[in-house]
Chains A and B, each alone.
Chain A
Amino acid sequence: MSLANRSCVTGIGETAYTRGATATAFELQIEASKKAIVDAGLTPKDIDGVIPIGIVSGTADDFIENFGIPDLRFSAVVPHGGASPAMALQAAAMAVASGACGHVLITFGRNISAMAHGNKAGARIHNMPQFHYVTEFEHPMGASAPAQLYAPMARRHMELYGTTVEQFGEVAVACREHAILNGNAVMRKPITLEDHRNSRMIADPFRLLDCSLESDGGAAVVVSAAERAADLRHRRVFIAGVAAGHPDSPGSITQRPDITSLGLAKAAPRAFRMAGVTPADIDVAEVYDCFTYAVIRQFEDMGFCAKGEGGPFVSGGRLRLTGALPTNTHGGLLSQAHVWGLNHIVELVRQLRGDAGAAQVAGAELGVVTGYGDMGDGALAIMRRE
């Protein structure tokens, strides 16, 4: 049984994205969830599947309690960091296509600002079991944070393929331009390639403007069985292809055979084959942007360009709204907000409904969204509007 076109994203919801939020992570998650359910034309009691992302706030049981869900038939945990939302689309698509349940809520909320100082990215990952090798062997030498773990991947890509600082900057500038068009983005000040180059170095080759935000907020989507989506509020947005992949040696990053090619490279051919399309058919892309370099590499892993040509691919404004492949039309993790990429899924649905406002890609019918987490796990979904 193929999962192609068996499910739809029927509801989307987001809180305001901010820094310094006063609401708790669970309050933010509940707010986004209610919005997504109402957006679908459902009530909270209609939800019969829940995938809480990361379980950094509410659990599936918390949603039964607060929504009075009479019969939750499906729940899952997808523990792969920023890959989790796109991987959750795969789990949700399987759940509704099989008939296990009808409407799956995928939901996330967090309040970084309220966490104790010392809970920034460089400290947080050492509380996560999947990073135990980093914690034991690398953190004590000063390889503590995602920026420091991704940087050698980016450096090797630059050395082998000639990828440049300006090409990283192209990604940062495109995301910022799009964030400015979005009424709900943390970063609203224009930046240039020169601003990018002049931003302070964090972990060479990553400058400040290569790094995603630490921000607060919630986001949620509802995935419904395709036949049940027909009666709901919006034009249907089908999950045409979805797949996940993991790098070899996910935990000990240094041991991966090719540190410049990760789990998405395994997943992408499966998703495109399922959808029956090729990268050339894609109108709009929402690509997980923990770092600028990660976007460049994911275009290669997905086959939008050949290995090593991701830098030239993103150059010349291709990713901007006026370019050939508008990408991260909401501003991404780099400039809108960091909610583990659930905002990328929300934005792709908005684009395919034609509801993306000033950032709308004219005539967008087919799009791709990626998730990328835990330094190498990857997932993608190809979506098509009805």
Chain B
Amino acid sequence: MSDAIARPPQVPTALSRAYWEGAARGRLLIQRCGACGKLRHYPRLLCDACHADAVDWVEASGRGSVHSWTVCHHAFHPSFRDELPYTLVTVDLEEGVRALGRWRGPAPAIGMPVRGAFVARAGGVDLVFAPVDN
């Protein structure tokens, strides 16, 4: 559909470039402090525990559990109108940080085991979570 309204753009910064490059390859990358090893998400300049700026990136499994969610019935940006209603889910990743993503599946519940992966769409990628069996 040539006249489709584009989603808000995913614009990497110097800080987040590795995250978005990973996402494009289907990998969920999380910053890890190069000094003390603490994970942080979203990307930050400094480790908030030890204030080191050395960073490496680790690939998260995508496994976790539902922390909360919302079902969106109103489009606050016109690009989402055709997708209503859609569900956004906040997930406790097993690595210890949380991630926000889209939801695919029956109604979520707190603690429900899930697995997420990046799904390509026009103009970008979505992190999409779905329930899994224990």
User: Does B80 sit at the interface, judged by CB under 8 A?
Assistant: yes
User: Does A139 sit at the interface, judged by CB under 8 A?
Assistant: yes
**Complex contacts, B75 vs chain A, CB 8 Å:** 142
Is A144 within 8 A of B68, CB to CB?
Answer: no
**Complex contacts, B99 vs chain A, CB 8 Å:** 254
Nearest CB in chain A to that of B99: its residue: A254
Per the bound structure, the CA–CA distance linking A144 and B76 in Å amounts to: 6
Is A142 within 8 A of B70, CB to CB?
Answer: no
Indicate whether A203 sits within 8 Å of B110 (C-beta atoms), given known contacts A136-B11, A141-B88, A142-B83. no
Is A144 within 8 A of B77, CB to CB?
Answer: yes
Indicate whether A155 sits within 8 Å of B102 (C-beta atoms), given known contacts A140-B9, A160-B110. no
Per the bound structure, the CA–CA distance linking A137 and B74 in Å amounts to: 19
Complex partner residue of A156 from B8, B72, B110, CB under 8 angstroms: B110
Stretch at the interface among A34-42, A115-123, A174-182: A115-123
Is B73 within 8 A of A152, CB to CB?
Answer: no
Indicate whether A156 sits within 8 Å of B67 (C-beta atoms), given known contacts A123-B76, A133-B42. yes
User: Does B38 sit at the interface, judged by CB under 8 A?
Assistant: no
User: Does A148 sit at the interface, judged by CB under 8 A?
Assistant: yes
Indicate whether A254 sits within 8 Å of B90 (C-beta atoms), given known contacts A144-B77, A203-B72, A203-B74. yes
Is A142 within 8 A of B102, CB to CB?
Answer: yes
What is the total number of residues of chain A having a CB less than 8 Å from a CB of chain B? Answer: 36
Q: Mark A148-169, 1 if CB is under 8 A from B, else 0.
A: 1001110110011000000000
User: Does B24 sit at the interface, judged by CB under 8 A?
Assistant: no
Looking at the assembled complex, report how far the CB atom of B91 sits from the nearest CB atom of chain A, in whole angstroms.
Answer: 9
Per the bound structure, the CA–CA distance linking A66 and B104 in Å amounts to: 57
Is A255 within 8 A of B98, CB to CB?
Answer: yes
Looking at the assembled complex, report how far the CB atom of A184 sits from the nearest CB atom of chain B, in whole angstroms.
Answer: 28
Is A142 within 8 A of B88, CB to CB?
Answer: yes
User: Does A126 sit at the interface, judged by CB under 8 A?
Assistant: yes
Is A141 within 8 A of B101, CB to CB?
Answer: yes
Name, among A126, A135, A252, the residue most crowded by chain B CB atoms within 10 Å (CB to CB). A252
User: Does A201 sit at the interface, judged by CB under 8 A?
Assistant: yes
Nearest CB in chain A to that of B102: its residue: A141
Complex partner residue of A141 from B73, B76, B97, B127, CB under 8 angstroms: B127
Looking at the assembled complex, report how far the CB atom of B112 sits from the nearest CB atom of chain A, in whole angstroms.
Answer: 11
Per the bound structure, the CA–CA distance linking A204 and B102 in Å amounts to: 15
**Complex contacts, B80 vs chain A, CB 8 Å:** 142, 144
Is A122 within 8 A of B73, CB to CB?
Answer: no
Is A202 within 8 A of B69, CB to CB?
Answer: no
Looking at the assembled complex, report how far the CB atom of B110 sits from the nearest CB atom of chain A, in whole angstroms.
Answer: 5
Q: Mark A121-138, 1 if CB is under 8 A from B, else 0.
A: 111001000000101111
User: Does A76 sit at the interface, judged by CB under 8 A?
Assistant: no
User: Does A274 sit at the interface, judged by CB under 8 A?
Assistant: no
Per the bound structure, the CA–CA distance linking A138 and B16 in Å amounts to: 14
Looking at the assembled complex, report how far the CB atom of B25 sits from the nearest CB atom of chain A, in whole angstroms.
Answer: 17
**Complex contacts, A64 vs chain B, CB 8 Å:** none
Is B41 within 8 A of A252, CB to CB?
Answer: yes
Is B69 within 8 A of A201, CB to CB?
Answer: no
Looking at the assembled complex, report how far the CB atom of B62 sits from the nearest CB atom of chain A, in whole angstroms.
Answer: 15
Indicate whether A255 sits within 8 Å of B97 (C-beta atoms), given known contacts A142-B80, A160-B110. yes
Per the bound structure, the CA–CA distance linking A27 and B82 in Å amounts to: 40
**Complex contacts, B74 vs chain A, CB 8 Å:** 147, 200-203
Per the bound structure, the CA–CA distance linking A143 and B102 in Å amounts to: 10
Per the bound structure, the CA–CA distance linking A255 and B31 in Å amounts to: 14
User: Does A145 sit at the interface, judged by CB under 8 A?
Assistant: yes
Q: Mark B80-114, 1 if CB is under 8 A from A, else 0.
A: 10010010101000000111111000000110000
Is B90 within 8 A of A123, CB to CB?
Answer: no
Complex partner residue of A252 from B13, B42, B109, CB under 8 angstroms: B42
Is B16 within 8 A of A136, CB to CB?
Answer: yes
Per the bound structure, the CA–CA distance linking A254 and B88 in Å amounts to: 12
Nearest CB in chain B to that of A254: its residue: B98
Complex partner residue of A140 from B8, B73, B110, CB under 8 angstroms: B8
**Complex contacts, A120 vs chain B, CB 8 Å:** 76
Looking at the assembled complex, report how far the CB atom of B131 sits from the nearest CB atom of chain A, in whole angstroms.
Answer: 16
The 6 closest A-B pairs by CB, nearest first: A122-B76, A151-B70, A152-B68, A145-B76, A204-B71, A156-B68
Residues of B within 8 A of A (CB): 7-11, 13, 16, 40-42, 67-77, 80, 83, 86, 88, 90, 97-102, 109-110, 124, 126-127
Residues of A within 8 A of B (CB): 120-123, 126, 133, 135-145, 147-148, 151-153, 155-156, 159-160, 200-205, 252, 254-255, 259
Q: What are 19 A-B pairs at a CB distance below 8 A?
A: A122-B77, A126-B8, A136-B10, A137-B42, A139-B77, A140-B10, A142-B83, A142-B86, A152-B67, A152-B68, A152-B70, A152-B88, A156-B68, A159-B109, A159-B110, A203-B72, A254-B67, A255-B97, A259-B90
